[in-house]
Amino acid sequence: MNIDMQYVTEKLVEILKTPSPTGNTKDAINFTKKEFDSLGIENYITNKGALVATIKGVIDEEHRTLSAHVDTLGAMVKEIKENGRLKLTQLGGYTWNSIEGEYCTIETSSDKKYSGTIITVKASSHVHGGEAKSLERNESTMEVRLDEKVKNKEDVEKLGIEVGDFVYFDPRTTVTESGFVKSRHLDDKAGIASILGIAKYLVDNNVTPKYTTNFFISNYEEVGHGASASIPEKTFEFIAIDMAAPGDGQTSDEFSVTICAKDSSGPYDYELKNKLVKIAKNNNINYKIDIYPFYGSDASAAMRAGWEFKHGLIGPGVDASHSHERTHKEAIENTIKLGIKYLID
């Protein structure tokens, strides 16, 4: 099976560099829509702002749906402080220390953009001594230092910055010669790239999936309700393609596709999990089976919303999830291969 990994990697880098924090994902949705359009795949944007693309299968009475989410971690302006710095509120779950020192962009409601850096309120060792090291990192001790000549709250307001404006973290995307992809927001833009790779393979090779296949690109997964609505009604199997999480006590790694048996929402469908494992084994696809204690997906969001279908979760291993993330192109390629074999099985 020849996967166009040059295309997949190029599109992954492009979408990683397209800001899309939860609640402000229009540019990334439009980017993905453009890719489906270029592949000649019918698609539409839902009222909630998600994207659904469809390839008709041999059987149209029942559908399979694969999902990935385009929304990422980020922040919003919680308060404009009297000293001209910005206090943040989180979008998604991450530790505050993981964004310390990060460059960021503030986008106003009038589409103006300003750069800044996320630092602590006692960042200078020469001024604060040991406190700079021991200070707890939390919402009250972290702030954005704007790259503008501002001395007070009024100066910031004159720039057009308001409470509720979105804050993007610099992804710092790098692809190494050894095949690693280092970037923020691989969760879940590696999943988006996997879906584009699957779709391109089907189109380029004139492969018709067994069942009509929907690609559901959700936009609110990081806050728990991404795939809670607008899933095509004929769906009988739903698989979320989302990052796997390597670490202590886990089987996942950065080179395999992981088939998730259980996360914090409970076990995934047993029969579907076994089917995916069988496909991987029969096709010599490098895979792992894992369980995640602090994890939820679009598939689990769909279950909570009351959808009735078999649900599964697969994805490439992403090290240091919700922090300084890294994966390898092999993990994405294995995810694509499993997705293709599943759809034509």
Write out pLDDT tens, residues 235-290.
999 999 999 999 999 999 999 999 999 999 999 999 999 999 999 999 999 999 99
Type of residue found at 50: A
Q: Which residues pair with 253 in a beta bridge?
A: none
Q: Which residues pair with 266 in a beta bridge?
A: 263
Mean pLDDT of 111-127: 97
Percent of the chain topping pLDDT 90: 99
Mean pLDDT of 324-336: 98
How high does pLDDT run on average in the chain? 97
CA distance 115 to 105: 4
Write out pLDDT tens, residues 210-241.
999 999 999 999 999 999 999 999 999 999 99
Mean pLDDT of 58-79: 98
CA distance 302 to 311: 9
Neighbours of 251 (CB within 10 A): 14
CATH of domain 74-169: 2.40.30.40
CA distance 53 to 42: 6
Of 102, 107, 143, 221, which residue is the catalytic one?
221
CA distance 70 to 222: 9
Percent of the chain topping pLDDT 70: 100
- Residue 293's pLDDT is 95
In the chain, what's the furthest Cα-to-Cα distance? Answer: 69
CB-CB contact of 260 with 288 (8 Å): no
pTM equals: 0.97
- What's phi and psi for 26, nearest 5 deg? -60, -45
- Residue 69's pLDDT is 98
User: According to CATH, where is 3.40.630.10 located in the chain?
Assistant: 5-72+185-344
Catalytic site residue 61? no
pLDDT band at 1 (very low <50, low <70, confident <90, very high): confident
CB-CB contact of 318 with 292 (8 Å): no
> Parallel, antiparallel, or unpaired for β 310-316 and 235-241?
parallel
CATH of domain 5-72+185-344: 3.40.630.10
User: According to CATH, where is 2.40.30.40 located in the chain?
Assistant: 74-169
- What's phi and psi for 240, nearest 5 deg? -85, 130
CA distance 206 to 101: 48
